[in-house]
Structure 1
Amino acid sequence: MIGVDGEPLSAVALDALARAEVVVGAARHLEAVPVPATAERVVLGSVEAGLERLAGRRGVVLASGDPGFFGIVRLLRSHGHEPVVHPARSSVQLLFARIGRSWDDVTVVSAHGRDLRPAVNVCRARPAVAVFTAPGAGPAEIGAALDGWPRTLVVAEDLGGPGERLVTLPAREAAARDWHPLTVVLCLRDPDAVPARGWYAGGEPVPPAGGWALPDEAFDHRAGMVTKAEVRAFVLARLGPRPGALVWDVGAGSGSVAVECARLGAAALAVERRADDAARIAANAATHGVDVRVVAGEAPAAFAGLPRPDAVFVGGGGPDVVAAAAAAGPERVVVALAALDRIAPTRAALQAAGLAVDGVQLAASRFADLPDGSVRLAATNPITILWGTSR
């Protein structure tokens, strides 16, 4: 494979090229290597069509960097080929060598030929993320999507090529600039941080140590205004937080649901109208070492301009808030209700949004110590949980 840093082909790769009957690659790759005069040159437009020309022939496929890392090796194998791979340095490896930074803590995602949203959501959730980009899913689009999240981008343009340039700038500024079509983006929450010595590539694994549905006392809250652990456990199961997803926590209170979603790898956004609770959410997120974007305002007006969620939890607000949350386009909406008279209108709002609706009532009893050292069961308030999923 062709190095992105002027790295010459190995003797083994040159020998394979010399014996090839067909050589497949992008035009810039074909121009960079000595293609035998007797070999058919296939310029990749449609990758599928190009690979069809390999059938039954001794072929070489040219790619830059390491084609086994978000590269063409998977596609070759899916077409029944058994490739012999001669990798070069990948662009991600070269980027971190250029800036002199370790990268075992960095999550690597690809937006090349894929939906940009999951990659951006990982950038919103993780402190250090490298992104393979593509035209229409490059630094400008990533910078625009990160509006509201304080992030710094390191944009590596044309690594190893004549136009190589590394630019470090706030994410919001990247949105207003034009960029080379060949870029790799490093998104950092704190560009000056020295990553801790870890053991797991890509940052801390999920699920997190200590599990989820943390005790109520793990969160600072106002007079017991926190989604109880037993309810939170069920809500998390219905929300399905995961890397690449964005979860809204509406009427967040202490932000316990948003924090738990972030601990499970999702990007999390909390909407809260009370200034004191908004401050608590930020403090709780910091305590647990996760990012939660806090939007101060009253739902549903506060939803204006927010990025589309994959799931929404509504812990406070009436049917109008539920309807507006469903209209934002999530795959699922989960609502926790203490008041019985809100159940029917909330169910109707979810059904009117075209969602398949289900529900359950949770009534948990906790151990409580008695003076003689024995224990009794102390009932918590019953909570009704409704959820709607896209059909």
Structure 2
Amino acid sequence: MRTVTVVGCPGVVPGTAAEPVAAATLIAGPERILSTVDNAAAERVVMGDVPAALDRIAGHDGPVVVLASGDPGFFGIVRALRRRGLDVDVRPAPSSVAVAFARIGMPWDDALVVSAHGRALRPAVNACRAYPKVAVLTGPGTGPAELGAALSGLPRRFVVAERLGAPGERITETDPVGAAAATWRDPNVVLVLAEAAADAPRPWLSGAPPAPDGWALPDDSFDHRDSMITKAEVRALALARLGPRLGDLVWDVGAGSGSVAVECARFGAAVLAVERDPAARATIHANAGRLGVEVAVVAGEAPGCLADLPDPDAVFVGGGGIEVLGACLARAPGRVVAAYAAVERVGPALTALSAGGYRAQGVQVQANRLSALPGGAHRLAATNPVYLVSGVLS
């Protein structure tokens, strides 16, 4: 199998790559790096149209060198070359993420690294909402300006690192509004940092923390008023239907104590908890802080306040009628769960879900909890039945 030499470039082609570059009959890479190569005899392929460039590389009969930024095995070209059945000799440079964090003197073993290069921006945005230290690999149309616009209003510090290691390198610290208003040069990487983010104490796992060690937490894990809380047994099924995960944005509409919102955040999702009552909003903040997650609390009454929110991936409707559910369905989230105490709302909710293109189902959830009696005996104490209506977008 013919071997393609892949050279990581810390802004410029390193001197250690001089021999394979001089021997190559085809050199591929970004135009800005190709322009610095001194090999007039070699065919040059600009990696703008990546599939076309890969076709040319795979079909070339001779020594090939691919020049890439930073570490080409880290969200880079190595994966694509291997998928074409090519053997690769990788000579990496430090990744742009490592260099960007080094420039500001910050450790990054506890940072979440996401890529919006050639990918949708939305999952990266949601990761930045949920985590205090995120590095975003950017691309055309998914750069610092677009990221800043999407995160406007969130208390985040932006560090935009442009052309790392190359002439014209620039490190700029700003906020989402400043990032959205500026013009940036490619390539760049953006560090998105919570204003009060602290370095994790001796992490054992790089990037996102592991999944929570449990869910459907006991009701007494949360502050709540007059037992107005989505009970643990109901929460367990709601979480299973919502499927909150890293990269998702979840709405908890009529959040109450915020128990569902907090549990979704513990799975790594970004969460907006919509609640009209000021006392309940304070309770949500307290519950999220105690359980170590970030939940953005939206003050307002649904459905009116929903219009200005970013599109959700999943929605839990814990308060409000069919009008609120309809407003949520109009935003086409992938997964929806609504909880009702009255059976009369189940039929209209199922109809609304089906009309919106959802595969709908409903179930009554009622638990009978063991309650201790004197003398070591127990009885069953019934919780109020709740109807869960859910749907997955077809």
Query: Residues 172 and 122 from structure 1, CA distance in 2 versus in 1: closer, same or farther, beyond 3 angstroms?
Result: same
Please identify, of 132-141 and 107-116, the stretch whose mean Cα deviation from structure 2 is larger: 132-141
Residues 168-211 of structure 1: CA deviation (Å, up to 9, x unaligned): 12222221121123211001113563332211101422x123x1
Q: Give me the whole-angstrom Cα distance separating, in 2, the residues matched to 1:193 and 1:248.
A: 27
Q: How far 1:19 sits from its partner (Å)?
A: 2.3
Q: How far 1:333 sits from its partner (Å)?
A: 1.0
Q: Give me the whole-angstrom Cα distance separating, in 2, the residues matched to 1:139 and 1:43.
A: 24
Q: Is the 8 A contact 1:139 1:175 kept in 2?
A: yes
TM-score calculated relative to the size of structure 1: 0.95
What is the letter of the counterpart of residue 390 of structure 1?
A: L
Residues 209-252 of structure 1: CA deviation (Å, up to 9, x unaligned): 3x111100111111111111111011001001000000000000
Query: Match of 1:9?
Result: 15
Query: Match of 1:123?
Result: 128
Q: Is the 8 A contact 1:17 1:60 kept in 2?
A: yes
Query: Match of 1:158?
Result: 163
Q: Give me the whole-angstrom Cα distance separating, in 2, the residues matched to 1:223 and 1:100.
A: 49
TM-score calculated relative to the size of structure 2: 0.95
After the TM superposition, list the runs of 4 or more consecutive aligned residues in structure 1 that deviate by more than 3 angstroms: none
Q: Is the 8 A contact 1:129 1:186 kept in 2?
A: yes
Alignment root-mean-square deviation, CA: 1.5
Q: How far 1:119 sits from its partner (Å)?
A: 0.3
Query: Match of 1:340?
Result: 343
Residues 349-388 of structure 1: CA deviation (Å, up to 9, x unaligned): 2222222211111121111111111222222111111112
Please identify, of 54-63 and 303-312, the stretch whose mean Cα deviation from structure 2 is larger: 54-63
Task: Describe the SS at the equivalent of 2:87.
Answer: coil
Does residue 294 (structure 1) correspond to residue 297 (structure 2)? The answer is yes
Q: Give me the whole-angstrom Cα distance separating, in 2, the residues matched to 1:213 and 1:9.
A: 57
What is the percent sequence identity of the aligned residues?
Answer: 57
Q: Is the 8 A contact 1:258 1:270 kept in 2?
A: yes
Q: Is the 8 A contact 2:133 2:197 kept in 1?
A: no
Q: How far 1:328 sits from its partner (Å)?
A: 1.4
Q: How far 1:140 sits from its partner (Å)?
A: 1.2
* Aligned residue among 264, 268, 272 for 1:265: 268
Query: Residues 297 and 58 from structure 1, CA distance in 2 versus in 1: closer, same or farther, beyond 3 angstroms?
Result: same
Does residue 219 (structure 1) correspond to residue 211 (structure 2)? The answer is no
* Aligned residue among 24, 27, 32 for 2:28: 24
Q: Give me the whole-angstrom Cα distance separating, in 1, the residues matched to 2:74 and 2:105.
A: 21
Q: Which ranges in structure 1 are unaligned for 5 or more consecutive residues? A: none
Q: Give me the whole-angstrom Cα distance separating, in 2, the residues matched to 1:172 and 1:142.
A: 10
Q: Is the 8 A contact 1:319 1:346 kept in 2?
A: yes
Q: Is the 8 A contact 1:368 1:375 kept in 2?
A: yes
Please identify, of 313-322 and 171-180, the stretch whose mean Cα deviation from structure 2 is larger: 171-180
What is the letter of the counterpart of residue 354 of structure 1?
A: G
Query: Match of 1:60?
Result: 65
Q: Is the 8 A contact 2:13 2:37 kept in 1?
A: no
Q: Is the 8 A contact 2:126 2:270 kept in 1?
A: yes
Query: Match of 1:388?
Result: 391
Query: Match of 1:200?
Result: 205
Q: Give me the whole-angstrom Cα distance separating, in 2, the residues matched to 1:7 and 1:81.
A: 22
Matches within 5 A, 1:57-136: 57-136=62-141
Residues 140-177 of structure 1: CA deviation (Å, up to 9, x unaligned): 11111112321111111221222211111222222112
Query: Match of 1:34?
Result: 38
Q: How far 1:39 sits from its partner (Å)?
A: 2.3
Q: Is the 8 A contact 1:148 1:293 kept in 2?
A: no
Query: Match of 2:4?
Result: none
Q: Give me the whole-angstrom Cα distance separating, in 2, the residues matched to 1:5 and 1:344.
A: 61
Q: Is the 8 A contact 2:250 2:264 kept in 1?
A: yes
What is the letter of the counterpart of residue 185 of structure 1?
A: V
Q: Give me the whole-angstrom Cα distance separating, in 2, the residues matched to 1:241 and 1:99.
A: 33
Q: Which ranges in structure 2 are unaligned for 5 or more consecutive residues? A: 1-6
